Amino acid sequence: MEAVLRYKASAAGLDLHVDSAGTADYHDGSPPDPRSIGHAARRSYDLAHLRARKVKASDFSEFDLILAADESNVANLMRICPKAYRHKIRLFLGNGPLPDPYYGAAPDFEHVLDLVEQRAEELLNGWTTRNGESA
């Protein structure tokens, strides 16, 4: 999600601070799955430099929007988020979970990228419309 949002925001002329983090630290410091890196690279997204990190307390005040892949992550974020910032937490897709392609095959990774690209464009279009900016 991070690389796609960053790429699409930059292409639209928007300077957004985009980051990603997990709700657990068991992959802390690890790069993305090599399959994710490969599929993303074929669409010009650079994931190779990304490293996993756990959500930290300052993320809730620093970011305007905190997007989660699924309801489990939303619940984990709500549990650790101060009440004043809970309104920032939403499902990335808005109405359902983002599928996890980890146990799937190449088409599953491509499907997730399709969903992320579509949703990133929707989010950026909505953001620019609300803030009176044009992309």
Answer yes or no: is 8 within a domain. yes
Inside any domain, residue 133 = no
Q: Considering the domain boundaries, does residue 76 fall inside one?
A: yes
Which domain does 6 fall in, by range?
2-126
* Residue 135 falls inside a structural domain: no
DSSP annotation of 91: E
pLDDT in tens, 32-67: 999 999 999 999 999 999 999 999 999 999 999 999
In a domain, 36, yes or no: yes
Tell me if 108 sits within 8 A of 35, measured CB to CB. Answer: no
Q: For residue 49, what is the domain's CATH number?
A: 3.40.50.2300
**131 found inside a domain:** no
| 68 within some domain | yes
Residue 100 lies in a domain: yes
pTM of the model: 0.91
11 vs 73: CA distance, rounded Å? 29
pLDDT at 47: 96
Rg (CA), the chain: 15
Total number of domains constituting the chain: 1
pLDDT tens for 76-111 read 999 999 999 999 999 999 999 999 999 999 999 999
